[in-house]
Structure 1
Amino acid sequence: MKKRMSVVLSMALVMGIMGQCAIAVNAASKTDDDTLNITLINQGSGQPYIAAYKNCFEKAEKDLNIKVNLVDGGWDANQQANAIQNAISSGADGIVISPVDPSAVCTYVDEALDAGIEVCALTTQIGTGDAEDPVYPETVGLVGHIETEVGRTAMDIAAEALDRSGKIAIIEGTPGMSDTEGRKKGIDEENKEYPDIEVVSRVCGEWVVDKAYTAMQNIIQSNPEVELVICHSDNMAVGAAKALEDADMTDKVKIVGIGGSKDALDLIKKGEIYGTIMYVPETEAYTALEATAKVVRGEAEKETFYNVQDLPLFAETGDVCTQENVDKFTAEW
């Protein structure tokens, strides 16, 4: 598998530089003795990945001397806007947000910044900047992935599984979402490196198990020659695996997922999913809270992209999980 070039500094390197470089401290910056109030606004409830954010709160509050106020975004841009305005009026020191609509949130993020509140994006970028430069101006930064790189990696895993030749299908996320479009672009770009791999089917799975189950059924009925399916998320990979099991085709079609879920890792151990790319929501949320607290205290620079794929957590293993190394990973959701 080709080694991807890192486009940002690893978290370890960032922290090393922070320790060596003088960083200007605003006179209003708070000290380590001050407990900071940080509001974390998620996209909404009902998704295990998002629910895992809160698993870091107790540790973050103790380690960083902060108080975390979790607000449900309700899968609604207006509700997130109201949450930002409430955080401003309550005098929050920082806001961590995973936007439902990256564009719609910008006006309200600007209001928070104008009020002197530091803002950090979590998982999903603020604004519609280039995927290769996803940090919104004047914010703490973004803790997340470059989704085009994730797509490229998924295709590399598929190529490895097929020995660089074969027919594949793709079960995609909801059209128009930044994660969907980024992963799709990356997969298609990397596919050009493997001329003997042909994409014969694309079906939307809407990120959920049952929709992916139906999508996989449709794929094997219309394209029985398919040898592998790339799923834009592990939830969909689990649904695809179930459909193949019910069709007695587990040994005939390989699956590549994205997400690193507990269910996916269990199926990798059983040989029902070939591999996945690890996402770590608890670690991501902690990193966002830590970065925000450091900026508020004048201990870190703004506009930093914390690429999850480059975090020290993956320094020895990388972020690709297959049956060969699955025992080295711990799922966070």
Structure 2
Amino acid sequence: MKLNRILLASALALSVAWVAPGLAVAADTIAIITPSHDNPFFKAEADGAAAKAKELGYETMVLVHDDDANKQSELFDSAIAAGVKAIVLDNAGADASVSAVQKAKDAGIPSFLIDREITATGVAVSQIVSNNYQGAQLGAEKFVELMGEGGQYAELLGKESDTNAGIRSQGYHDVIDQYPDLKMVAQQTANWSQTEAYAVMESMLQANPEIKGVISGNDTMAMGAWAALEAAGRKDVIVVGFDGSNDVRDSILAGGIKATVLQPAYSQAQLAVTQADKYLKGGSTGLDEKQLMDCVLIDDSNASKLETFALSN
């Protein structure tokens, strides 16, 4: 009899282990899916969302898609199978992500997008993004001032599949192109990558030794460009980034990179979780699907107040 009980207990244990993937999360869990945390911006998003979720009484499933739409789709499958209540997403492509968000919606799981939009409306509940155009204009105005309204410059573009890359570049050029003495002599993507930006900047500098400035689509590429410029003994080149990272803050305070544009990653992610909570409890956020958050210029006058993509008073 005792042996039978032991065998029955073992069989039950095996059964629970077999179905565990579908029971892997607590009843009230929010999935947080972002690009790689190697980029401090995306880590700040995940940290901000997780902190707010915990504050509101939720468990979290924190996942990384590495800007791979196929991997993102698989992560959505996992989150849906696990029965999460909501998904907070910084997506892996404006077009490629629509089907994943729709898949979650069809399963009764609402998605709340941050940082990057998708090319469809009515699929996600919220799309909360930084006002990239407004922020890019702020950065461009500072760049023009630092350049003295003239000289050769280069532009580092973000990932082509990310709508933010195009919006920021457009915002830059709508300001800079008004100054005929500013000449863009090189423009190339570095895919938001510091390593790629280093290599691209080396090539740009070799081909255009008279470059006076570099305007970058994000801070990670700005840091790569600055490292290449330092290595070449060209610390005279003006570099302006976009994001508001601690790394660029430190560079600004040390007299390196001259400016960046803060987009509030941490608070944006927290806002998404707050809206998810409101939606889950009441069926509506009470807000429009598309929401813009204004950006703030960061230079040597306020860089000391910047910490983890937030500006203190």
Q: 1:294 matched to which residue of 2?
A: 278
Paired position in structure 2 for 1:163:
148
Shift of 1:47: 2.8
Q: Structure 1: how far apart are the matches of 2:67 and 2:159?
A: 14
- What secondary structure sits across from 2:124 in the alignment? coil
Indicate which of 86, 90, 96 corresponds to 1:94.
86
Tell me which residue corresponds to 1:175: 160
Question: Higher relative contact order by CA 8 Å / sep ≥ 6: 1 or 2?
Answer: 1
Cα drift, residue 42 of structure 1: 1.9
Q: Which amino acid aligns with 2:243?
A: G
**Could you say which structure has the larger radius of gyration?**
2
> After the TM superposition, which residues 271-290 of structure 1 pair with which residues of structure 2 at under 5 Å, given as runs?
271-290=255-274
Equivalent residue in structure 2 for 1:267, among 245, 251, 272: 251
Distance 1:220 1:178, change over 3 A: same
Aligned to 1:233: 218
How far does residue 267 in structure 1 lie from its aligned partner after superposition? 0.8
Give the Å deviation of 1:206: 2.8
Query: How many angstroms apart in 1 are the aligned matches of 2:190 and 2:97?
Result: 26
Q: Which of 242, 247, 265 lines up with 1:258 in the alignment?
A: 242
The gaps in structure 1 that reach 5 residues or longer are: 1-34, 130-135, 311-318
Which of 34, 39, 54 aligns to 2:46? It is: 54
- Answering whether residue 63 of structure 2 is matched by residue 78 of structure 1, we say no
After superposition, residues 198-209 of structure 1 pair within 5 angstroms as: 198-209=183-194
Partner of 1:247: 232
Q: Which moved more, 1:257-266 or 1:143-152?
A: 143-152
Distance 2:206 2:64 in 1: 40
Could you list the per-position Cα deviations for residues 18-69 of structure 1 after superposition, in whole angstroms to 9, with x for gaps in the alignment? xxxxxxxxxxxxxxxxx84211122345333222333235531343222222
CA shift for structure 1 position 74: 4.3
Does structure 1 conserve the Cα–Cα contact (< 8 Å) formed by 2:67 and 2:93?
no
Alpha-carbon shift at residue 302 of structure 1 (Å) = 4.9
Q: Tell me if structure 1 keeps the 8 A contact 2:190–2:197.
A: yes
Q: Does the 8 Å contact 2:157/2:189 carry over to 1? A: yes
The CA distance in 1 between the partners of 2:199 and 2:292, in whole Å, is: 33
Aligned residue pairs total 284
Give the distance between the partners of 2:297 and 2:136, measured in 1 at CA.
12
What do the CA deviations read for 1:150-179 (whole angstroms, capped 9, x no partner)?
333322121121232332211222334323
RMSD: 2.5
| Structure 2 spans left out of the alignment, 5+ residues | 1-26
What is the CA distance between 1:272 and its match in structure 2? Answer: 0.9
The 5 Å alignment of 1:137-152 reads 137-152=122-137
> What is the TM-score when the length of structure 1 is the normalising length?
0.76
Say if 1:295 and 1:302, in contact at 8 Å, map to a contact too.
no
Between the aligned residues of both structures, percent identity stands at 25
Instruction: Give 1 or 2: higher helix fraction.
Output: 2
